[in-house]
Amino acid sequence: MAEAHQAVGFQFTVRPDGVDLKLSQEVIKNIYLTGLTAWNKRAIQFKNGVLAGVYPASPSSWLIVVIAMMSSSYTHIDPSLGMIDTIKEILPQRDYMSVQTRAVLSAILFATGLWLFLIYLLRYTLKALLSYHGWIFESHGKMTTSTKVWLSLVKMFSGRRPLLYSFQASLPRLPVPSVDDTIHRYLESVRPLLDSEQYNQMEILANDFKDSKAAQLQRYLILKSWWATNYVSDWWEEYIYLRGRSPIMVNSNFYIMDLLYVTPTHRQAARAGNVVHAMLQYRRKLERGEHAPLRALGTVPMCSTQMERMFNTTRIPGIETDIVQHLTDRKHLVVYHKGRFFQVWLYTGGRHLLPSELETQFQRILSDTSEPQPGELKLAALTAGNRVPWARARIKYFSQGPNKVSLDAIESAAFFLALDDEPQGYDPAKAGSFDSYGKSVLHGKCYDRWFDKSFTLISYPNGKMGVNAEHSWADAPIVGHMWEYVLATDCFHLGYTEEGHCKGDVNKCLPYPTRLQWQIPKECQDVTETSYLAAKQIADDVDFHGCLFTEFGKGLIKKCRTSPDAFIQLALQLAQFRDQGVFCLTYESSMTRMFRDGRTETVRSCTSEAVAFVRAMEDPGATNAQRLALFRKAADKHQNMYRLAMTGSGIDRHLFCLYIVSKYIGIDSPFLKKVLSEPWKLSTSQTPQQQLNLVDINKFPKYVGAGGGFGPVADDGYGVSYIIVGENLITFHISSKFSSPDTDSYRFGQYIWKSMLDIQALFKPENHKKTVEHAKHVQLENGKKHI
């Protein structure tokens, strides 16, 4: 064990003439370096905390203000308007304080107060500026004079070289929309989905709610918005994620894939070594707050709160609700390989393990031929099954002894690493390789991922990687930000030797990884098996298909003078109608991180304008000119809905919070019940690319990410995630359920492909020939399941 290895460096023997101490110089040096690193880390965190705390001012500006106040005493000008003299009189009389000392101290105290006042003035001025969102509603590429002036003011008040959390205190709070606006937008969103009778009934429910109960619920919500930093986020985390008692595998967790075309090395241990080291570098910068804050237009800051819990975080199961446990300064990770759990220390001599040292440790695990202990092989299936059995088993079987020690090691680890034994990844020459890869990172074997950890890093024998992330603590763009940094660091900064190993010398003196010890009784093994069978049934039911759309991408769509996201969303509506013959309630995720502690909002993509466009596309009598006009109208509507959601004027989070308030105060609302029970048969999300400066796609076109995805939200619906990569690639991740006779992910992917081409043909009629040829090439097997 690592502890035992270090303990031999300190030995003592009690003798009649005293105590004989034996100290290992190497261990003492290790302890010294570790302590030095710890104090250095605290100093940097303190410094950066001060810099972020006084931002947009700086500590040096305090000295400038003090000097200015001191200088004024020699010019016989009192800028304090007598306040310095008042402070001097209030100061207690002391013999050791001369008149000059009291004057200097009074000036310093006044200057400090003035400096703090100016900091808050700058912050609230910046907060007021950031509360303006008119810029987001302007046409792309066209900026009014008022917006240019506003942008200049934001830049001026934003200061220089901000740290990750510098803008947190200046971000505005998420506004509470008016009930009238929310209900109006809601009724507008469901109009194309309901017939006249159904819509009239919904309108009656909505108006009754607005006239009777809404005002009282709204008052409570406004009160919360004044008190809390965000009136949605804490309830969203608790009631949408943590109180759910069904399995989080597939139903909640999401995944992110590796680079699509490139595998930097085919050595599993080496790739894992580089990636883990890059993650440790990212974590160090995160703990110090040294990452640059994300900013829209390069100027408008985004909230960074979610990033705080990226590492050292675990979802802890409970009987009624789970909790998110976040720890600090964890120095180990836990590795799973062939049914065994290993603890690997990430530091030595006060520094991170080097990539070559991590490779050595992981190779030792891969070469270990020991067998799993009884009950160890499928132990992680507890995190994949229903939450209540896992919570009870945790209390009963993991509260003491070696089981508690080992479970604590997992839950306190920086993150979880799974060394898989089956290769995965996209291979153009191998049919179904992308689909298999997607299912692997989404659920694996149901017992080889610790689904409760903030994220599980997955390493495959052929060098491919993947990430499975728990959803309650953060949204996909947060994990995506880390993953972009890691892949760029792995490929362009760390690199590999010609043989595919990590660069650097091999250190064979490192203590071996430690096997976690378990004593799993038969009763606990039965609970584990039950959880595994429940999880396996969910996993086997996932129908996943990955679709690489290479006909065109963002570049061509922008030439058509339309938003790429709106283009894709309308293609999804067209594909949905062609696949199902009906329209459905559609969910698109939008972020609200321009506000303090913001997470997401829903964009209801199936609008009346989108429906009119789809019907025109399916109407043989409609002309392309008519279809194009309807497309532009639908795209503009979608963009407006997306912008409203981003700026706090969405529909669903407001109604969700009103519903929570109604439950707290015991008010029954048929309208809110109806709204919250509506199924999202088409759930969509775009994976954004946030750090385009890390990799030059034009120079390295093969170094593109494959994006990520999630499981189906409805039993008879689709989950679609997509990423727009570079100028000529859009990757779709499509999921549904085999158990539904109405859905087929492969078939839906083909409809998406055809719909994209059909819409593009509206802009270039000569491309319609290509569309027809492709449609003939694709054989759509309606009613059959793709296996």
User: Tell me, what DSSP letter sits at residue 352?
Assistant: E
Q: Categorize the per-residue pLDDT at 13 as very low, low, confident or very high, splitting at 50, 70 and 90.
A: low
pLDDT of residue 787: 35
CA-wise closest residue to 687 among 723, 712, 719: 723
| Whole-angstrom distance, CA of residue 159 vs CA of residue 51 | 11
Q: Provide the strand spans (E) within 497-643.
A: 514-515, 542-549, 586-591, 600-604
The mean pLDDT of 85-93, rounded to a whole number, is 72
pLDDT over threshold 90, residue 46 = no
The mean pLDDT of 156-179, rounded to a whole number, is 91
Q: What is the pLDDT of residues 718-731, one digit of tens each?
A: 999 999 998 899 99
Q: Categorize the per-residue pLDDT at 693 as very low, low, confident or very high, splitting at 50, 70 and 90.
A: confident
Q: What is the pLDDT of residues 273-289, one digit of tens each?
A: 999 999 999 999 999 99
Q: What is the pLDDT of residues 116-139, one digit of tens each?
A: 888 888 888 999 999 999 888 887
DSSP letters of 568-585?
HHHHHHHHHHHHHSS---
Contact 481, 286 (CB under 8 A): no
Q: Categorize the per-residue pLDDT at 768 as very low, low, confident or very high, splitting at 50, 70 and 90.
A: very low
Taking phi first (over 0 means left), then psi (-120 to 50 degrees means alpha), and beta for anything else, what does residue 209 get? alpha
Q: What is the pLDDT of residues 396-427, one digit of tens each?
A: 999 999 999 999 999 999 999 999 999 999 99
pLDDT of residue 36: 61
pLDDT of residue 98: 67
Q: Provide the strand spans (E) within 537-646.
A: 542-549, 586-591, 600-604
Distances (CA, A) of 524 to 102, 182, 487: 72, 49, 39
Give Dmax (Cα) for the chain. Answer: 108
Q: Categorize the per-residue pLDDT at 38 as very low, low, confident or very high, splitting at 50, 70 and 90.
A: low
Q: What is the pLDDT of residues 616-669, one digit of tens each?
A: 999 999 999 999 999 999 999 999 999 999 999 999 999 999 999 999 999 999
- Output phi, psi for 465, to 5 deg: -130, 170
Taking phi first (over 0 means left), then psi (-120 to 50 degrees means alpha), and beta for anything else, what does residue 314 get? beta
Q: Categorize the per-residue pLDDT at 765 as very low, low, confident or very high, splitting at 50, 70 and 90.
A: low
pLDDT over threshold 80, residue 74 = no
Global pTM reads 0.88
Query: Is 471 marked active-site?
Result: yes
Tell me what the pLDDT averaged over the chain comes to. Answer: 88
How open is the CA angle 24-25-29, to the nearest 5 degrees? 120
Amino acid at 615: R
pLDDT over threshold 70, residue 83 = yes
Percent share of the chain, pLDDT over 90: 70
The mean pLDDT of 679-686, rounded to a whole number, is 95
Tell me the three-class secondary structure of 424-464, residue by residue: CCCCCCCCCHHHHHHHHHHHCCCCCCCCCECEEEEECCCCC
Q: Which of 182-186, 292-296, 567-571, 713-717 has the lowest mean pLDDT?
A: 292-296
Catalytic residue among 291, 337, 443, 471: 471
Q: What is the pLDDT of residues 579-630, one digit of tens each?
A: 999 999 999 999 999 999 999 999 999 999 999 999 999 999 999 999 999 9
User: Tell me, what DSSP letter sits at residue 242?
Assistant: I
The more confidently predicted of residues 535 and 696 is 535
pLDDT over threshold 50, residue 481 = yes
